């Protein structure tokens, strides 16, 4: 078993279950360390998070931490957005998608470093 793969999966699962976007860790691992093409990495990431998301939803629902009246319309919008995103990605290709993903991570990192207020 590849130790780096195990660590990447563990970190992705922990971060994803916390609702913090563990997919970024998994996609970076797949594209950088295993040279998986961007679109395949995205597909693996989505498949990876089905069981993790299901477990997280069950745990949060049992703890009554989910506001269903807010969540269900957002989930519907997310499903529609996923279909549109897949359609657009098929036209623009994986290379451009990788650049967009990288740019998004850089912008998000800059925002977090310079523009996030302290919560302490």
pLDDT digit string (tens) for 45-98? 888 888 888 888 899 999 999 999 999 999 999 899 989 988 888 888 878 888
Q: What's the confidence (pLDDT) of residue 9?
A: 84
pLDDT of 24 strictly over 90: no
pLDDT of 21 strictly over 80: no
* pTM for the structure as a whole: 0.62
Q: How far, in Å, CA of 14 to CA of 48, rounded?
A: 12
Q: What's the confidence (pLDDT) of residue 67?
A: 93
Phi, psi at residue 63, to the nearest 5°? -80, 0
Q: How far, in Å, CA of 74 to CA of 26, rounded?
A: 24
Q: How far, in Å, CA of 112 to CA of 109, rounded?
A: 5
Phi, psi at residue 28, to the nearest 5°? -65, -45
């Amino acid at each position: 078993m590849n130790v780096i793969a195990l660590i990447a999966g563990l970190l992705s699962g922990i971060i994803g279950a916390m609702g913090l976007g563990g997919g970024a860790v998994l996609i970076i691992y797949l594209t950088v360390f295993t040279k998986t093409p961007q679109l395949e990495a995205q597909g693996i990431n989505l498949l990876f998070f089905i069981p993790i998301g299901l477990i997280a939803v069950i745990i949060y629902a049992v703890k009554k931490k989910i506001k269903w009246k807010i969540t269900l319309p957002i989930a519907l919008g997310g499903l529609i957005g996923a279909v549109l995103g897949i359609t657009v990605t098929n036209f623009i290709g994986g290379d451009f998608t990788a650049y967009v993903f990288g740019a998004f991570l850089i912008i998000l990192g800059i925002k977090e470093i310079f523009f996030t207020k302290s919560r302490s």
